[in-house]
Structure 1
Amino acid sequence: MTETLDSIIIGSGHNSLACAVHLAARGWKVGVFERAAEPGGAVKTGEYTLPGFRHDWAAMNLSLFAGSAFFKEYGEDLGRSGLEFAPVANCFSSVFPDGSWLGVSNDLEKTAQRIAAENALDAETWRSLTAEFPARAEGLFGLLGGPAKKRAFAYILFKEWRRSGTGGVMDLGRFLLASPRDWLSETFVSPKVRALLAAWGMHLDFAPDISGGAVFPYLEGMANQAFGMVLGKGGADTITRAMTATLEKNGGSITCDAEITRVLIENGQAIGVELSDGRQVMAKKAVIANVAPAALARLTGATGNKRYDSGLKTSIHAPGTMMIHLAMEDLPDWTASEDLKTFAYVHLAPDLDQMARTYTQAQAGLLPDEPVVVCGQPTAIDPSRAPDGKHVLWLQVRMAPGTIKGDAAGQITATDWESAAEPFAERALDLLERYAPGARARILGRHIVTPAMLEADNPNLVGGDQICGSHHLTQHFLFRPVRGFADGTTPVGNLFHTGAAVWPGAGTGAGPGYLLAQKLAG
């Protein structure tokens, strides 16, 4: 007998789960189908090195989730299902070759004093930006988190016009178009303050000179200053486990080891899906695909809209990422300061020119000679992730080419990730050792995850792209993933697209899934 549901969701990433939770709460019979052995997509946690050491596979920072509209509605339900956060006071920092450092804490005086030691004028600028942030945040969060509709954007801009006039709207538009280097260079004097914030652009694919990237360093800096940061207690998978439990309490289901190979379309309407074992499941109201754009094109074949089909197939992905999970005897001894042991993130990204060079090399298919290394120290915040007295490090190596054409340093001859993984990981560990001598000697176990392994585990991470598609202006706002379809609709009736590939894009905020669920069920 063929199973029939109200809604079928392809993929079990956090956007899928947020969508499913809302639909189930509105009375829909929802089934989520996941090709992998466990739900969560890139938001999962496991003992990848040694027993008792819990490592976040990809996503670590849950601040966007904790501040999301979805959490505002379902936070109490999720809490009853086991969701726990670990708040962070000392959020992010950067270390520099001269032995100095800068860091942002949620205590304004601490942050301002660190900046003042580098440049007094920049400290005053930081205080001013912090004071202005609440008023400015309303418009920015409205733009970046609202529905992808011309009317919605126009309304937000109208509110901004009423608040700050024509000049204010023009200033906002200029800011949204600016590159990180544009904004940072005109705002701060110190190259170190600029580098401290610019590192956040590299978490997406906004190298210093990419237009449209200024907003991300700004928002991360100001939001962390204002609210601090949030990690998951015990691991980022706390949100996955809580959403799964909440969904199941409301009658929804998740089926793992269930790969969907085709969306069934009849008379221009999606009516169900076919699994790799030949089984078919039908949907009365919606088939929702949380997949990369090209994958949706493969699942549907031709939709009848040539522009849409072409847009899916030609969607551009960001450079890849290598993850290095380390089980540690202790945290690194940072030369710059013992205080760095209290920070969730330590960025090894000393200046804008180095970040720009790294990005360009990766885009050209080269292993960067000096990659950006994001050193996450989750056990500095949440000791429960490791045995007593021990720690884990979460190293994110950015940028890394999905397909290797060569080595910018001329040292690694391998062009396949299986062979290049170890020497490239050693390059990243050399950087860690530069700023924290003796760190290697504290490693108890390690697990390298290459861009190829990220994609094999989760096909949405094409070439190791953890954000499921570039966020450059041509693929952002109303153009994500294709003009006219940023709200999750497709040319096929009852077929919808969600996940990081759809507006408002990547991050743990669950915006694409929750906005689509509201569109479908109110």
Structure 2
Amino acid sequence: MINADAVVVGAGPNGLVAANALADAGWDVVLVEAKDEVGGAVRSAEVTAPGYVTDLFSAFYPLAAASPIIRDLHLEEHGLVWRRAPNVLAHTLEDGSAAVLCSRAEDTAAGLEAQAAGDGDAWLELVAGWDRIRDPLLDALFTPFPPVTSGARMLRRLGAAGTLDFARLGVTPVRRLGQERFSGRGAGLLLTGNAMHSDLAPDAAGSGLFGWLLCMLGQDVGFPVPEGGAGELATALRRRAESRGVRVLTCTPVTTVTTASGRATGVRLADGSEVRARRGVLADVPAPALYEDLLADHPLPRRLRRDIARFQWDNATIKVNWALDRPVPWTAPGARGAGTVHLGVDQDGFVDFSADLTVGRVPQRPFMLFGQMTTSDPSRSPQGTESAWAYTHVPRGLDWSGQQLAEHVDRIEAAVERVAPGFRDSQVARHVQSPGDLESEDPSLVGGAINAGTAGLHQQLVLRPVPGLGRPETPVPGLYLASASAHPGGGVHGACGWNAARAAIGANGPTGGVRRALTRTAWARLLKD
């Protein structure tokens, strides 16, 4: 048996951040991970051809670069180096044109102005709005709900009229946002393509905020990548944690969160041994896995079990990785220096694609994200070549194997070929990840869902992962949800792990008794049948 102050279950980015935060507070921490390496969906490997590094899941990290949580860990002291492509992102169309999100907002605006008079100034107006509220907004996004202090700072900067405008932005569909603010198609393509990084449809409330946020992050910090592969970000987090005494146990699956007198006391491992936690258990696992599996034998309120049974996942994902013997032969010059390329649809095509996903129909014209990793980081493949990937969302519940998978991979490659003639001829090797493959390689990617639950408004803030407090505390004292199933949700920013760690530290601090009593009372009222 192992004893510690806290045990963290799962060494994804949130689990790694949680372990670091607890260790910084002087806690004795054990971090347990079922796989043979840490990182969760932040890992890389040579899976296509020797010398070509592929990011197996996530790849570009604007949220990590902007996150005050990640910044304050000073991971550069533990080997992390950020690299960026010449341009952030491009959306390329079959007529040979492209909308380009450049590294400098002025250059993005110039490109949009060339397509439609007035759109350049409209873009810079969006950027100015971002600059005005950037810091309090990021603080509000990455702290537990409600963000009282950062929210007050935002209100002061925005004023009454500005607050109403921002509230409207928060619920405006991204398609409408593009139509209201711009007369040309370029800005709408950039905003909508970025909104589609979530599972929100372009006509869905809240999609405008997602599109605006990612575009503004692109103008602010870019879409950086870790030099050498995504796994280097996870490795830096592990190095930092171990330098502060965290014990990391890989190849160590957890089967049960143990409890006594209704309180979490540790975890039971697959080999039957236990890790006892004196102060807290932090779970970097999807919410259904925590409540339905790890707490299967614990008497949970009936209302909670009902709510978790209707938890909604985001869409499934198919990802294709390539080793190319030359740069991608894009027709649109603007796509050649972009780290991320959006392709496959035009503005109306976004709607058609989302409709297919909504009704469970296989998209015949898929929208996809394409990553040019060597363009972003020359260490990813031999000089003059490209390590590339594309992913696209597909409906959940279908059999994504055999002929159906092969046909959709062909649609993906055909879409690239239409905007980059000769792409197929440049392939050295290919590696396909189906939704089932993604889940097999990272069990948190259930059914190929990459955001740990829908980003829809019905499952955000105090409704994430179920109607509750919007905080990492669970109805089981001493147990904290530290995964992206918790507020603020998906993306590599570390906030879910950080919030869980701070909640655990607070519950064991000078005012811990009051905090624990308030939490118990709040949950009891919320879950009362």
Which interval holds the TM-score relative to the shorter structure?
Answer: over 0.9
Deviations 1:352-376 (A, max 9, x none): 3211221221233222111111111
Q: Does 1:501 align with 2:485?
A: yes
Deviations 1:409-441 (A, max 9, x none): xxxxxx442442222111100000000000000
Q: How does 1:86-105 map to 2 (within 5 A)?
A: 86-105=83-102
Q: CA deviation at 1:242?
A: 0.6
Deviations 1:350-399 (A, max 9, x none): 323211221221233222111111111010121111123221002112x2
Aligned length: 504
Of 60, 80, 83, the match for 1:83: 80
- Who is 2:304 aligned against? 308
Q: CA deviation at 1:34?
A: 1.3
Letter in 1 for 2:231: D
Letter in 2 for 1:35: A
Rounded Cα–Cα distance in structure 2 between residues aligned with 1:508 and 1:293: 17
Letter in 1 for 2:290: L
Letter in 1 for 2:287: P
Deviations 1:46-69 (A, max 9, x none): 001111110001111122112212
Q: CA separation of 1:222/1:488 partners in 2, compared to 1, >3 Å: closer, same or farther?
A: same
- Unaligned runs of 5+ residues in structure 1 are 405-414
Are 1:87 and 1:230, in contact at CA under 8 Å, matched by a contact in 2?
Answer: yes
Deviations 1:284-340 (A, max 9, x none): 111111111211112112543333232222210111111111001012111122x42
Rounded Cα–Cα distance in structure 2 between residues aligned with 1:492 and 1:418: 43
SS of the equivalent of 1:137 reads helix
* Stretch of structure 1 that moved more, 239-248 or 188-197: 188-197
Rounded Cα–Cα distance in structure 2 between residues aligned with 1:120 and 1:417: 48
Q: TM-score, normalized by length of structure 2?
A: 0.92
- Who is 1:343 aligned against? 338
Letter in 2 for 1:116: E
- Who is 2:107 aligned against? 110
Are 2:400 and 2:435, in contact at CA under 8 Å, matched by a contact in 1?
Answer: no
Q: CA deviation at 1:10?
A: 1.1
Of 417, 426, 445, the match for 2:401: 417
Q: Does 1:123 align with 2:107?
A: no
Q: How does 1:42-441 map to 2 (within 5 A)?
A: 42-75=41-74, 78-149=75-146, 152-153=147-148, 155-297=149-291, 298-301=293-296, 302-337=298-333, 339-397=334-392, 399-404=393-398, 415-441=399-425
Are 2:171 and 2:207, in contact at CA under 8 Å, matched by a contact in 1?
Answer: yes
Are 1:192 and 1:351, in contact at CA under 8 Å, matched by a contact in 2?
Answer: no
Q: CA separation of 1:210/1:390 partners in 2, compared to 1, >3 Å: closer, same or farther?
A: same
Are 2:483 and 2:496, in contact at CA under 8 Å, matched by a contact in 1?
Answer: yes
Letter in 2 for 1:49: T
* Stretch of structure 1 that moved more, 234-243 or 349-358: 349-358
- Who is 1:408 aligned against? none
- Who is 2:525 aligned against? none
Are 1:89 and 1:229, in contact at CA under 8 Å, matched by a contact in 2?
Answer: no
SS of the equivalent of 1:369 reads coil
Letter in 1 for 2:128: A
Rounded Cα–Cα distance in structure 2 between residues aligned with 1:180 and 1:316: 22
SS of the equivalent of 2:332 reads coil
Letter in 2 for 1:248: E
Are 1:157 and 1:169, in contact at CA under 8 Å, matched by a contact in 2?
Answer: no
- Who is 1:23 aligned against? 22
Q: CA deviation at 1:106?
A: 1.9
Rounded Cα–Cα distance in structure 2 between residues aligned with 1:363 and 1:259: 35
- Who is 1:411 aligned against? none
Rounded Cα–Cα distance in structure 2 between residues aligned with 1:10 and 1:375: 32
Q: Sequence identity, in percent?
A: 30
Rounded Cα–Cα distance in structure 2 between residues aligned with 1:109 and 1:489: 44
SS of the equivalent of 1:4 reads strand
Q: CA separation of 1:260/1:380 partners in 2, compared to 1, >3 Å: closer, same or farther?
A: same
SS of the equivalent of 1:452 reads helix
Letter in 1 for 2:221: F
Rounded Cα–Cα distance in structure 2 between residues aligned with 1:343 and 1:113: 17
* Stretch of structure 1 that moved more, 109-118 or 316-325: 109-118
- Unaligned runs of 5+ residues in structure 2 are 507-529
Letter in 1 for 2:466: V
SS of the equivalent of 2:84 reads strand
Q: Which runs of 4 or more aligned residues in structure 1 lie more than 6 Å from their structure 2 counterparts after TM superposition? A: none
Letter in 2 for 1:222: M
SS of the equivalent of 1:203 reads coil
- Who is 2:12 aligned against? 13
- Who is 2:509 aligned against? none
SS of the equivalent of 1:39 reads coil
Rounded Cα–Cα distance in structure 2 between residues aligned with 1:62 and 1:161: 28
Are 2:92 and 2:335, in contact at CA under 8 Å, matched by a contact in 1?
Answer: no
Are 2:473 and 2:503, in contact at CA under 8 Å, matched by a contact in 1?
Answer: no
Are 2:328 and 2:386, in contact at CA under 8 Å, matched by a contact in 1?
Answer: no
Rounded Cα–Cα distance in structure 2 between residues aligned with 1:511 and 1:282: 25
Q: CA RMSD in A?
A: 1.7
Rounded Cα–Cα distance in structure 2 between residues aligned with 1:110 and 1:442: 31
Q: CA deviation at 1:156?
A: 4.2
Are 1:268 and 1:492, in contact at CA under 8 Å, matched by a contact in 2?
Answer: yes
Are 1:261 and 1:299, in contact at CA under 8 Å, matched by a contact in 2?
Answer: yes
SS of the equivalent of 2:196 reads helix
SS of the equivalent of 2:388 reads strand
Are 1:199 and 1:349, in contact at CA under 8 Å, matched by a contact in 2?
Answer: no
Are 1:500 and 1:506, in contact at CA under 8 Å, matched by a contact in 2?
Answer: yes
Are 1:89 and 1:228, in contact at CA under 8 Å, matched by a contact in 2?
Answer: no
Q: CA deviation at 1:252?
A: 0.9
- Who is 1:510 aligned against? 494
Rounded Cα–Cα distance in structure 1 between residues aligned with 2:415 and 2:476: 49
Rounded Cα–Cα distance in structure 1 between residues aligned with 2:240 and 2:106: 40
Are 2:195 and 2:214, in contact at CA under 8 Å, matched by a contact in 1?
Answer: no
Letter in 1 for 2:472: G
